[in-house]
Amino acid sequence: MKEKVILAYSGGLDTTAIIPWLKENFDYEVICCCIDCGQEEELDGLKERAQLSGASKLYIEDVVDEFCDEYVLPCVQAGSVYENKYLLGTSMARPVIAKRLVEIARKEGATAICHGATGKGNDQIRFELGIKALAPDLKIIAPWRMTDIWTMQSREDEIEYCVQHGIDLPFSANTSYSRDRNLWHISHEGLELEDPALEPNYDHLLVLGVSPEKAPNEPEYVTLQFEAGVPISVNGDALKLSDIVRKLNELGGKHGIGIVDIVENRVVGMKSRGVYETPGGTILMEAQQQLEELVLDRATMEAKKDIANKLAQIVYEGKWFTPLREAISAFVTSTQKYVTGEVKIKLYKGNIIKAGTTSPYSLYSESLASFTTGDLYDHHDATGFITLFGLPLKVRALKLAEAEKR
């Protein structure tokens, strides 16, 4: 009986060419597994394509709700953004994909998992760290790093390889953007984006929405309701998280929200330039932050900023299944107990504008914040506070003055 390999299958040219390559070089039975994190129409025709290419079986696993509830939500609650711009769309999806690949491998009795990530990118790290953490006994095959037997170096090479193996597929060698899509976002790399000096061709590039210039001239108000840090409704309609993201993607895309052009630092050491569309996610994270401004104390907010950056790095580097990530998530969850309330925002030409936030647990006191003297605040108390708060500065200045006189 042949050994089985689970191939992380997207249906694209790379992973389609990998199917006959695995059979030819390893004599594996190839079982394709497409993990649906919200790729939409990209899933069309996958079964026929996989079978035509020589796969014995194709799994299409819907993990959209698991992705949103167990991977997206913890990062939203933490406020994690990599290098101040990237909302971790691809990074958050890789661990849930790795987890499901391992589950299918166990079910099928496979001895290996194969992925089509290149040797220059972050995804090879994310997939493989996830697999190692969950199934250290499974072999990992990364064709693009096996240059002794993976000799294809271009799309033309891959197409020719498929033709030689009797696979007639609707792929062309025409250049296009390299994209990764799920419910949270879509990323774009390649073409003019490879030169940081060039402006993105947004008319050609955008998929989820429009540029701010082409957004409606009239603003639109959106109201979100949260309960214990979990978004539960949009404009009064109670929805599960995945449907909230879908609805906000529609609204945000319409108004040019969430378009990010970034030169980021990959884990492998190089810089790469890409454009991310995250319309719904940008709205959701901004609304969460606005509510936290009302209900979290200063010290917790300061600690949470540090934690957010650390978690962003952990997720970006593929270290989801680690004790540190679990500990950070536990801390973040504890901060969300009172993050309950309503956030109203205005969407207008790429901008998210505050339009009012309320919470039963708000720490904001109008009597304290106003310029009118209230019962809880005596202006005279500020004198002693400033004296003690500024004491280190005063002592240092006095000591420096004494030293200069010597």
Q: What does the pLDDT average to over 276-298?
A: 98
- pLDDT greater than 90 at residue 170: no
Q: Which pLDDT score, from 0 to 100, does residue 325 have? A: 98
More confident residue, 168 or 398: 398
Lowest mean pLDDT among 43-57, 77-91, 107-121, 290-304: 43-57
- pLDDT greater than 80 at residue 6: yes
Q: What does the pLDDT average to over 394-401?
A: 95
**Residue that has been written with the tokens 């079978």 in this structure:** 51
- pLDDT greater than 90 at residue 366: no
371 pLDDT tier (thresholds 50, 70, 90): low
Q: Which one of 56, 178, 211, 272 is the catalytic residue?
A: 178
166 pLDDT tier (thresholds 50, 70, 90): confident
3-state secondary structure at position 62: strand
14 catalytic residue (yes or no): yes
Structure tokens at 176: 């296009």
Q: Which pLDDT score, from 0 to 100, does residue 155 have? A: 81
Phi, psi of 149 (to 5 degrees): -120, -20
306 catalytic residue (yes or no): no
Average pLDDT value for the chain = 94
Question: Tens digit of pLDDT for each residue in 134-154?
Answer: 999 999 999 999 999 999 988
Please tell me the number of Cα atoms within 13 Å of 396 on its side-chain side: 4
Contact 99, 72 (CB under 8 A): no
- pLDDT greater than 60 at residue 4: yes
156 pLDDT tier (thresholds 50, 70, 90): confident
233 catalytic residue (yes or no): no
- pLDDT greater than 90 at residue 211: yes
Strand order from edge to edge, sheet including 4-8: 57-62, 29-36, 4-8, 112-114, 139-141
Q: Which one of 10, 14, 36, 273 is the catalytic residue?
A: 14
172 pLDDT tier (thresholds 50, 70, 90): low
| Strand stretches in 173-321, DSSP E | 178-181, 186-189, 220-227, 230-234, 237-238, 259-265, 271-277
Q: Which pLDDT score, from 0 to 100, does residue 406 have? A: 83
Q: Which one of 80, 123, 126, 180 is the catalytic residue?
A: 123
Q: What does the pLDDT average to over 225-253?
A: 98
Question: Tens digit of pLDDT for each residue in 10-19?
Answer: 988 899 999 9
- pLDDT greater than 60 at residue 253: yes
3-state secondary structure at position 163: helix
- Share of the chain residues as helix, strand and coil, in percent rounded to the nearest 5: 45, 20, 35
Question: Tens digit of pLDDT for each residue in 36-65?
Answer: 999 877 677 888 889 889 999 999 999 999
* Spatial CA neighbour of 228 closest among 63, 360, 403, 130: 360
Q: What does the pLDDT average to over 348-363?
A: 98
User: Global pTM?
Assistant: 0.94
Structure tokens at 132: 């190692």
Q: What does the pLDDT average to over 257-283?
A: 97
Q: What does the pLDDT average to over 327-335?
A: 98
Contact 190, 46 (CB under 8 A): no
- What angle in degrees, to the nearest 10, is found between the helix axes of 241-254 and 279-295? 110
Q: Which pLDDT score, from 0 to 100, does residue 175 have? A: 55
Q: What does the pLDDT average to over 344-351?
A: 98
- Percent of the residues in the chain that have a pLDDT greater than 70, as a whole number: 97
Phi, psi of 366 (to 5 degrees): -65, -35
The 8-class DSSP code of residue 86 comes to B
* Spatial CA neighbour of 86 closest among 243, 273, 318, 332: 273
Helix (H) or strand (E) holding 134: helix 123-134
Q: Which one of 94, 100, 181, 273 is the catalytic residue?
A: 94
- pLDDT greater than 80 at residue 390: yes
178 catalytic residue (yes or no): yes
- pLDDT greater than 70 at residue 299: yes
Alpha-carbon distances, residue 16 vs 41, 46, 170, 290 (angstroms): 17, 10, 11, 45
Q: Which pLDDT score, from 0 to 100, does residue 125 have? A: 98
d(CA 56, CA 37) in angstroms, rounded, equals: 23
